């Protein structure tokens, strides 16, 4: 991806609780993620992975607790940057073309040169040929490309990926792994929720397992690392 025009940013979750109708989706989650880490979240459906990522993206508000973005020296940032967020849904309009989608969100985000930025991203995700096609006609893999491009519009220092490989064919998955590798190597902080071991999970530098809304395992190395990810299949 484009050369780094962001400052490395970490995230600190402090005592995050999220209740839906009195039920806990997340319970007292405290995590410190340093700038540049590539974190894989594993856990069953309903373990709270998606909720945690949506809270980090500031789409959902925690019932209590705080999320802070930290600059290199672990100081809280004055203005909270928006993380790039790729959800399982495309987050793009079916009735608009790939280019129109990116232009729309670029303008909404107040990006300096929306047309130029759109152009760059279309090229980077390999959608230049299909720029004038409606997203409705896209395959799952192409939808994922447009989703990535949308998330990278404002050159975020933190990228959140919510089950990004689900439903991708092998080529799509390997393109995606390649992209994640580039993002990681450019120094971006990556948080992703995954199902099982894959090409993408191999890129993780840290594995965290959630169960019933709590962190039950958190490791950077060792045999444990693989078991956490493999266990996610359960």
Partner 1 sequence: MALLSKAAVLLGKELRTEFRSRELLTTTVVFILTIVVLFSFTFDPSVSESRRFGPGLLWLAFLFAASLMLQPCFLREQTNDTLGALRLSVSDPFAIFLAKLAANTLFLLFTQVLLLPVFSILYNVPVLAAFPQLVLVMFMGSLGLSVTGTALSAISAQARMRELLLPLLLLPLLTPVLIASTEATAALLIPNPAMRWDWLGFLLGFDVVFLTALWLFGEYLLEE
Partner 2 sequence: MKKKILIAAVVVILMSFAAYAALLIAPTESKMGPIQRIFYLHAPAGMVSLLCFFVCFVGNFAYTLKRESKWDCLGVSAAEVGVAFCTVNIITGPIWAHPVWGIWWTWDWRLTLTFVLWLLYISYLLLRTLVEDPDRRALVSAIYGIFAFLDVPLVYGSIRWWRTQHPQPVIMGGSGSGLEPTMAKVFWFWFFNLVILMVFLVRERYRLEAMRGEVQLIEREAEAA
The residue ranges that bind partner 2 (CB under 8 A) are 19-23, 46, 212
Number of Cα atoms under 13 Å in the Cβ half of residue 47:
20
The DSSP annotation for 116-168 comes to: HHHHHHHHHTT-GGGTTSBGGG--HHHHHHHHHHHHTTT--SEEEEESTTTT-
Kindly state the greatest CA–CA separation across the chain: 49
DSSP H helices in 28-112: 49-56, 98-108
Measured from the CB atom, the residue of 1 and 60 that comes closer to partner 1 is 60
Six-digit token string for 217: 């395992």
Measured from the CB atom, the residue of 95 and 129 that comes closer to partner 1 is 95
Find the binder of partner 1 among 63, 82, 120, 214 (CB under 8 A). Answer: 82
Interacting residues with partner 1 between 138 and 167 (CB under 8 A): 150
Six-digit token string for 128: 């230049």
Residue 89 CB, shortest distance to partner 1, in Å, is 4
Measured from the CB atom, the residue of 108 and 128 that comes closer to partner 1 is 108
Residue 22 CB, shortest distance to partner 2, in Å, is 4
Residue 20 CB, shortest distance to partner 2, in Å, is 6
Measured from the CB atom, the residue of 110 and 222 that comes closer to partner 1 is 110
Closest CA to 32 of 50, 49, 10, 4: 10
Measured from the CB atom, the residue of 78 and 234 that comes closer to partner 1 is 78
Does 94 bind partner 1 (CB under 8 A)? Our answer is yes
| Start-to-end Cα distance in the chain | 34
Does 90 bind partner 1 (CB under 8 A)? Our answer is yes
Q: Which residues pair with 211 in a beta bridge?
A: 214
Measured from the CB atom, the residue of 19 and 181 that comes closer to partner 2 is 19
Size of the site for partner 1 (CB under 8 A): 25
- Tell me which of partner 2, partner 1, none is bound by residue 21, counting a contact when its beta carbon lies within the kind-specific cut-off of 5 to 8 angstroms: partner 2
3-state secondary structure of 20: strand
User: Cα–Cα distance between 138 and 135 in angstroms, integer?
Assistant: 5
Residues that bind partner 1 (CB under 8 A): 54, 57-61, 82, 85, 87, 89-96, 100, 104-105, 107-110, 150
């Amino acid at each position: 991806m484009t050369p780094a025009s962001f400052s490395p940013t970490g995230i600190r979750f402090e005592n995050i609780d999220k209740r839906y109708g009195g039920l806990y989706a997340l319970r007292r989650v405290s995590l410190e993620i340093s700038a540049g880490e590539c974190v894989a979240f594993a856990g069953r459906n309903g373990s709270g992975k998606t909720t945690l990522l949506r809270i980090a993206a500031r789409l959902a508000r925690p019932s209590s607790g705080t999320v802070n973005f930290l600059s290199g020296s672990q100081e809280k940032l004055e203005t909270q940057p928006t993380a790039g967020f790729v959800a399982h849904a495309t987050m793009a309009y079916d009735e608009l073309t790939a280019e129109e989608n990116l232009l729309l969100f670029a303008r909404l985000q107040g990006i300096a040169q929306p047309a130029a930025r759109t152009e760059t991203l279309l090229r980077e995700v390999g959608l230049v040929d299909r720029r004038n096609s409606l997203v409705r006609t896209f395959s799952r893999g192409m939808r994922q490309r447009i989703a990535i491009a949308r998330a990278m519009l404002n050159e975020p220092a933190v990228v959140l990926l919510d089950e990004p490989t689900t439903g991708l064919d092998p080529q799509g998955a390997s393109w995606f792994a390649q992209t994640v590798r580039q993002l990681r190597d450019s120094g971006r902080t990556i948080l992703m929720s995954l199902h099982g071991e894959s090409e993408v999970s191999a890129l993780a530098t840290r594995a965290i397992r959630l169960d019933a809304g709590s962190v039950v395992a958190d490791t950077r190395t060792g045999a444990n690392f693989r078991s956490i990810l493999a266990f996610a299949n359960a």
